[in-house]
Structure 1
Amino acid sequence: MSHAIQHLLIGGLIIMTTGVSTVTKANDLKMTIVNPKNLYDPTPNGYSTAVIVPSNARVAYISGQGGQDATGGLSPDFAVQVRQAYANLRAALDGLGARPDQVAKLTIFVVDHDMSKLEVLTRNVKEMFGNTLPAQTLVPVPKLAIDPMLFEVEAIVMLE
């Protein structure tokens, strides 16, 4: 796919774009990252505007991973929970035989979100995904499945 896509159909919305990069997989599956030049550049904040998964790819859905360690322990510290949740997401990817650059979409849930938490979130997502930033949605919530949980991340993954 060229670096200059003229029209991209996403959910019935046509977006004019020239900012497209393609991540090539070993068996020629290509996930295309789209960051239209006429929209705010989300990459400094650790995500991409849109990701296209090819129609011939298998897709896996990873349920929400919280900050529990292997014993079920949960730190009261937000940054520790975020770091552990991404470690848990990595373990789930490993279980699928997938890599972080195969993640197309993240949805993250943050209890009592405020702007002070963005630095922690951005740092962790960039550490895990590098330059292959998935599409991402942050959902502020009043609470999660259990009271001490402050963070949860779920993922949609393209499998080879």
Structure 2
Amino acid sequence: MMENNPLEISNPAGIYDPRDHAYSHVATVTAADLLVFVAGQGGSRTDGVLSDDFRTQVKIVFENIEIALASKGLKMNQIAKLTTLIVDYNEEKHEILIEESTKIWPDLKFPVNTLIPVARLALKGMLIEIDATAVNS
């Protein structure tokens, strides 16, 4: 583990380098630290309006996660694990997710992420939902 950092992101040799797809293979968390779980966030703000634009929803999802983490004194670089659900997943949506993720993690130390294509999410018009697990030391 890195000194004074309870979260270590790594990509072991022998497995392909996943950073071009905006995720990492392994997140290691020191057991003595506090874990913060953020429920799946959708692409709407407090007004509940969902844009038809996928990129807009992705940006709002990440903004919502950032707000939730900030409420506990955490930042986006303290996320260890994401689960991403995308409606009607395709390569264009994948590229948008990568582009927006790279803006948040320009050092390419992406959280571990499982991407799951789905037919539908909880609300009509929801195109993406992401939950997060972060660590606070």
TM-score range, shorter chain: over 0.9
Aligned with residue 125 of structure 2, among 128, 148, 152: 148
Moved >3 Å (runs of 4+): none
Aligned with residue 123 of structure 1, among 92, 95, 99: 99
Higher strand share: 1
Q: CA deviation at 1:123?
A: 1.0
State the TM-score, normalized to the length of structure 1: 0.81
CA distance in structure 1 between the aligned counterparts of 2:12 and 2:5, rounded to whole angstroms: 22
Partner of 1:49: 25
Partner of 1:81: 57
Q: In the alignment, does 2:61 pair up with 1:70?
A: no
- State the Cα RMSD in Å: 1.2
- Please list every run of 5 or more consecutive structure 2 residues that lacks an aligned counterpart in the other structure: none
Q: CA deviation at 1:147?
A: 1.3
Q: Which has the larger radius of gyration?
A: 1
Task: Check conservation: 2:39, 2:132, Cα contact below 8 A.
Answer: yes
Task: Check conservation: 2:43, 2:58, Cα contact below 8 A.
Answer: yes
Partner of 1:8: none
Q: CA deviation at 1:67?
A: 0.4
CA distance in structure 1 between the aligned counterparts of 2:45 and 2:9, rounded to whole angstroms: 32
- Please list every run of 5 or more consecutive structure 1 residues that lacks an aligned counterpart in the other structure: 2-21
Partner of 2:37: 61
Q: Secondary structure at the match of 2:71?
A: helix
Task: Check conservation: 2:6, 2:135, Cα contact below 8 A.
Answer: no
Q: In the alignment, does 2:101 pair up with 1:158?
A: no
Q: CA deviation at 1:30?
A: 2.7
Q: Secondary structure at the match of 1:96?
A: coil
CA distance in structure 2 between the aligned counterparts of 1:125 and 1:70, rounded to whole angstroms: 22
Q: CA deviation at 1:51?
A: 0.4
Task: Check conservation: 1:29, 1:57, Cα contact below 8 A.
Answer: no
CA distance in structure 2 between the aligned counterparts of 1:89 and 1:74, rounded to whole angstroms: 16
Task: Check conservation: 1:103, 1:134, Cα contact below 8 A.
Answer: yes
